[in-house]
Structure 1
Amino acid sequence: MTLKPLRARDAIITLLALVACVPILARTSLNSPRTRAEATGFRETSRYSDVVAFIDSLRDRPLTFGSIGRTNEGREIPYIIASYPQVSTPEEARALKRPIVYVQANIHAGEVEGKEALLALVRDLSAAPRPGVLDSIVLIAVPIYNADGNERFASQSVNRSAQDGPELVGVRQNAQGLDLNRDYIKAEAPETRASLAMFNAWDPDVFVDLHTTDGSYHRYALTYAPPLHPSAPLGAYTRDSLLPILQSRMKARHSFETFDYGDFISEDTLSKGWATFDSRPRFGTNYYGLRGRISFLSEAFSHDPFEKRIASTYAFTREILSLVAERAVSILARNSAATQMGVSVAGRPPVALQSQMAAAPKLRPIAAEFLEKTGDTLRSAPGVRRGYRRSGRFQTVSMPVFDRFEPTLLQEAPSGYLISPSDTALVRMLQLHGITVESNFKVRRGRLLTFVLDSARREPRVFQRHNERRIFGRWVQKAFSEMNIPAGLFYVSTHQPRGLLVQYLLEPMSDDGFATWNFFDSQLKPGAVFSVSRVELIYNGIN
């Protein structure tokens, strides 16, 4: 039998699959730099100085180094760009016509395995045989996003009590006391504003956020989620097409069981189901989905030992990169279609302003771990509550899996929104999100709708320095059907690449828009008219 030579692209894909199967520790040369975790037998995690030193040890390699910005306490937030050929600007990356993948770790600085795994992965990929994954993607790695939180080291029993090592870890919040993974809409932290600037400049095709979860005891070394907002254009594709492949490869190539992120609804009655977290875009992966791109949430299992958590995170991230490299043409085409959907004047589906959790169509088997009572009140092992120990025995139960959200309030997109000339703070916030705002709006013919407030509810509990708002009201059209819209206002078109985000942020009844975070509080009087108006422009006699 005569063997046909492999095409170049097929050869790269075959090599990617072979490299992904190699055990992680076998890839690390004795002469390669070692992370703090590796050097200490996985007893310790890296401090900020360790991360900087590790990155410095890679400077003789064809990598690009930089900072996305500074933390609240003035620390640089380092990034590494890995690609063949080497690139250093967004323009150079886009010229390669390949997916840009942005991987972020340590947003919660007690969840430290992503930091260690990402450093090791950049080291290994930059020394791997070619052709390889870096010939098909551009990787932007941000290993220590919450650098200030990382430096607030304390015992893991204090900072991450449900976690099995390492001995000392940082804290969840940044130096301002903010949870950075609840800050993507209001963007109050300098870290968030820096990452938004990177998103705007590089427009990554894929965003990966590395975490660790605790909660229910189960068989899965790692759980994952796509963007959960029901209006995310590529959420269903990520959930139904990409994640099943990753789940299969994690088991076949690395012997890691993985599953959709969630917890048992009831530990006492497992058959009630398994539920994911939240669809709102205050969370990074949900936010990035509303920007019309692919995103993955990675959650290592905190009850597993530190070394295993690093290994599962490393493997999952590596498999994402390989899959993106294999599906590069399809991913770029889908992202382009999502952008065009935002720009289009017609044919865009309505945006989900509010949503509720929903179950997948079929029951799925999930393996729950039994905990054994120890007979005393002492902690038998890190990551297990007092008086119990892990048994290694599992019960598999078929149950509903609530892994998605369905809309409860849909809103058709207007042509755009008008903003009062005095509301420059709102304009600056929109621009932070990469949204184009036109100044000195010229007179045009159209229909103008104003929002009339019926009621507003203020959450009594302070959350992230805010009392969140829920607003109820209605859009009211002027008595006359058409008018000349006055000049001098700010205009925000919904027909732009992030048009979905425009509508979600500015609609008063959105469940996580600017109104939620108190941007309109001064206007919350019954019967008050908002400073933001909906506009239906008339184009050559056509709405």
Structure 2
Amino acid sequence: MGFNLYEITRFVFQVPTTYVIESLDTACVGRFLVFWATKFQLMKQILIVLLVSLTLSLQGQEWPRELLTHPELTAYRETSSYEQVMGVVKAAIKDSPYAHLISMGQSKEGKDIPVVVMANPKVTSAEEAKATGKPIIYVQGNIHSGEVEGKEALQVLLREILKGERSYLLDNQILLFAPIYNTDSNDKMEQGRRPSQEDSPVKVGIRANSQGWDLNRDGMKAEALETQGLFQNIIVPWDPALFVDLHTTNGVWHGYSLTWAPSYHTAGEKAPFDYTWNKILPDVTDRVLKDYGIYLGPYGYFYTRSEGWPIKSIYTYNHHPRYLVNQFGLRNRMAILSEAFAHERLYQRMASTYAFVREILEYTHKHGREILEVNKTAEEAAIRLVKEQAGKVKKGVRFEMVAMEEPIDEYRIYNHAKTTNAQGQEQYIRLPEIITLKNVENHSAFNATVTATLPRGYVIPKEMGHIAAHLQMLGAKVDTLTRNSRATGEVFTATGLELANRPFEGHNMATLEGSFSSQTRRFSKGDFYIDLAQPLANLIFYLMEPQSDDGLVTWNFFDAYFEKQNIAEKPVEYPIFKYFELK
């Protein structure tokens, strides 16, 4: 394996590691630098810069300055600005026979959101990419501008693929890299924004975009310009087989350099989740440990206050498809959430994110056709279920988190000890060593608490064209009745509309109470209808069901209608008709 910058810098900062240096000459150099670094603390930052240059030289790869990331040029004290990212991107794609730069769209402040398309042979459009039959892999950094290592790691991978020795990764797949998704907020840097990162880097940008939206809560309402550009110019036309979203945790003290999660499918098909959980993530986790000495594990939080010590369970994040990773499960596609460990230094978080993404791409390079087949089978199953079981089968629309059947055999975590505070109350403090707990419950599954009948489709009144347009933006096929028609199905009669007291993402989220009844209705030429026998059947179902916990009702798309109909005084019919047959 030879000289390894990540591990030597861990030694410099006196962080425990399992790495074994196999090259005698470079090991001697490394020990020499580590010895003097521990003796003279003021030399640490200088030594990091020297180690970067020395490592590249020993590995036989020297990069020109324009291909080095800003963290590499500042001893990992600073993260890249938008201009600096664009500088590396343009230097990497210059004269490359494989790369094409496109814009996902523009931010509120007028910045192009860059997406580098890499393929061998080169492609310049979604149509060309699909014609190759290769899987398209989309990797995104900087959705939250304080979580910077994804942005930086993608620049490193970009130069390695286009200027280095990893162009073979383009043989069997097409890669789309979006290193700086939240362009505006990236440059609004201040110190102390993310305390869990302990000023590494010193300054970072803000979480929300320049419109004030959290871009990772916008997947269903799609109010942000960035989200609209992502759907209209990437997700819908390019149709990635796998989506990878790069983040940093908010501070939980597990024992991993990076944690991961798949797309939680809920009302979707299970096969893409199973493949990601059972094949991709275990393989990548093993390879990263073997090749880099970096521990990866399942994403989750734990609570010593309620469970004491040792903990018995970890808990993942919500199932809602407002999270982009989760929405891919409803699209019959695969997705992976990456969460670097906040408390490690920037260079370590960059290294773990780099290793994770690289090994994912190594896996998709070898197994891309298999991934496409799993996705295709899931899509066909979703369409077949509508055609064969519409009006007969129920699917979940509201869910609760539960434990998976199999616990985690060995879970790495920082040790804790019980003590008392000044008031004599018991509390747990974190100790410096990492230990392994056995058989920890993993709450990463979801059971339905409310279900609804799967219809053949929905009819939308012509007066509600904004609903049809929203669905089309997300990729749904919406048609218009060319003649007066008759439909049998269900009507939902709402008896109450409850709005949350506190706003979330600018919305007082709505919950609709009521019940369904069987009905036959006539509809007019010009009304919209959606036949669910299409690839996005599960996503449309989740959006349109009135009791869905993350649908258009939830996000206030129908509030004005219900208020106009005076729901506070009387029951009101939900204006979307759920049909089982349309003639």
Normalised by the length of structure 1, the TM-score is 0.88
Q: Is the Cα–Cα contact under 8 Å of residues 266 and 272 in structure 1 kept in the other structure?
A: no
1:237 aligns with 2:275: yes
Residues 399-414 of structure 1 aligned to structure 2 (within 5 Å): 399-414=440-455
Distance 1:528 1:200 in 2: 35
Q: Is the Cα–Cα contact under 8 Å of residues 256 and 413 in structure 2 kept in the other structure?
A: no
The residue number in structure 2 matching 1:227 is 263
The residue number in structure 2 matching 1:346 is 388
Structure 2 CA distance for partners of 1:448 and 1:363, relative to 1, 3 Å: closer
3-state SS in 2 of match to 1:400: strand
Alpha-carbon distance, 1:244 to partner: 1.4
Distance 2:304 2:230 in 1: 37
The residue number in structure 2 matching 1:170 is 205
Letter aligned with residue 313 of structure 2: G
**Residues 310-319 or 337-346, more deviating:** 337-346
Q: Quick check: which has more Rg, 1 or 2? A: 2
Alpha-carbon distance, 1:31 to partner: 3.2
Residues 309-324 of structure 1 aligned to structure 2 (within 5 Å): 309-324=349-364
Distance 2:330 2:202 in 1: 38
Distance 2:402 2:310 in 1: 17
Distance 1:124 1:218 in 2: 31
Structure 2 CA distance for partners of 1:536 and 1:363, relative to 1, 3 Å: closer
Question: How many residues align structurally?
Answer: 504
Structure 2 CA distance for partners of 1:427 and 1:216, relative to 1, 3 Å: same
The residue number in structure 2 matching 1:301 is 341
3-state SS in 2 of match to 1:87: coil
Distance 1:144 1:243 in 2: 25
Higher helix proportion: 2
1:357 aligns with 2:401: yes
Deviation string, structure 1 residues 379-425 (Cα, Å, up to 9, x no partner): xxxxxxxx988623435343211122122223332111111111111
Q: Is the Cα–Cα contact under 8 Å of residues 414 and 432 in structure 2 kept in the other structure?
A: yes
The residue number in structure 1 matching 2:20 is none
The residue number in structure 1 matching 2:578 is 534
The residue number in structure 2 matching 1:99 is 135
Q: Is the Cα–Cα contact under 8 Å of residues 265 and 272 in structure 1 kept in the other structure?
A: no
Distance 1:350 1:125 in 2: 46
3-state SS in 2 of match to 1:399: strand
Residues 351-500 of structure 1 aligned to structure 2 (within 5 Å): 351-364=395-408, 365-370=410-415, 391-394=432-435, 396-478=437-519, 485-500=523-538
Alpha-carbon distance, 1:330 to partner: 1.1
The partner residue of 1:50 within 76, 84, 88 is: 84
Distance 1:223 1:278 in 2: 16
The residue number in structure 1 matching 2:158 is 122
Structure 2 CA distance for partners of 1:477 and 1:254, relative to 1, 3 Å: same
3-state SS in 2 of match to 1:367: strand
3-state SS in 2 of match to 1:108: coil
Letter aligned with residue 323 of structure 2: F
Distance 1:483 1:427 in 2: 20
Distance 1:441 1:269 in 2: 65
3-state SS in 2 of match to 1:285: helix
Alpha-carbon distance, 1:40 to partner: 1.3
1:30 aligns with 2:63: yes
Alpha-carbon distance, 1:125 to partner: 1.3
The residue number in structure 2 matching 1:60 is 95
Structure 2 CA distance for partners of 1:354 and 1:145, relative to 1, 3 Å: same
Q: Which has the higher contact order (CA 8 A, sep 6+)?
A: 1
3-state SS in 1 of match to 2:211: coil
3-state SS in 1 of match to 2:339: strand
Task: Give unpaired runs (5+ residues) of structure 1.
Answer: 1-21, 374-386
The residue number in structure 1 matching 2:18 is none
Distance 1:355 1:147 in 2: 34
Distance 2:556 2:251 in 1: 32
Alpha-carbon distance, 1:27 to partner: 7.6
Distance 1:407 1:246 in 2: 30
Residues 81-230 of structure 1 aligned to structure 2 (within 5 Å): 81-129=117-165, 132-155=168-191, 157=192, 159-164=193-198, 165-197=200-232, 198-230=234-266
Superposition RMSD in Å? 2.6
3-state SS in 2 of match to 1:217: coil
Structure 2 CA distance for partners of 1:411 and 1:448, relative to 1, 3 Å: closer
Distance 2:557 2:250 in 1: 34
Distance 1:487 1:107 in 2: 42
Distance 2:112 2:167 in 1: 33
Distance 2:510 2:174 in 1: 40
Deviation string, structure 1 residues 170-223 (Cα, Å, up to 9, x no partner): 011111111000001001110000001110110111100000003321210000
Distance 1:363 1:288 in 2: 25
Alpha-carbon distance, 1:255 to partner: 1.1
Letter aligned with residue 516 of structure 2: W
Structure 2 CA distance for partners of 1:206 and 1:432, relative to 1, 3 Å: same
3-state SS in 2 of match to 1:236: helix
Structure 2 CA distance for partners of 1:27 and 1:114, relative to 1, 3 Å: farther
Letter aligned with residue 247 of structure 1: T
Letter aligned with residue 258 of structure 1: L
Deviation string, structure 1 residues 219-249 (Cα, Å, up to 9, x no partner): 1000000011323322222122221112211
Letter aligned with residue 238 of structure 1: T
Distance 1:527 1:237 in 2: 45
Distance 2:115 2:559 in 1: 37
Letter aligned with residue 89 of structure 2: I
3-state SS in 1 of match to 2:508: coil
Q: Is the Cα–Cα contact under 8 Å of residues 214 and 302 in structure 1 kept in the other structure?
A: yes
Q: Is the Cα–Cα contact under 8 Å of residues 106 and 144 in structure 1 kept in the other structure?
A: yes
Q: Is the Cα–Cα contact under 8 Å of residues 218 and 394 in structure 1 kept in the other structure?
A: no
Letter aligned with residue 370 of structure 1: N
Distance 1:28 1:194 in 2: 37
Q: Is the Cα–Cα contact under 8 Å of residues 229 and 280 in structure 1 kept in the other structure?
A: no
Alpha-carbon distance, 1:484 to partner: 5.2
Deviation string, structure 1 residues 411-457 (Cα, Å, up to 9, x no partner): 33211111111111111111110111112343444304221002232
Distance 1:495 1:86 in 2: 34
Structure 2 CA distance for partners of 1:347 and 1:97, relative to 1, 3 Å: farther
Alpha-carbon distance, 1:99 to partner: 0.7
**Residues 160-169 or 112-121, more deviating:** 160-169
Structure 2 CA distance for partners of 1:207 and 1:36, relative to 1, 3 Å: same
Q: Is the Cα–Cα contact under 8 Å of residues 264 and 270 in structure 1 kept in the other structure?
A: no
Distance 2:431 2:117 in 1: 40
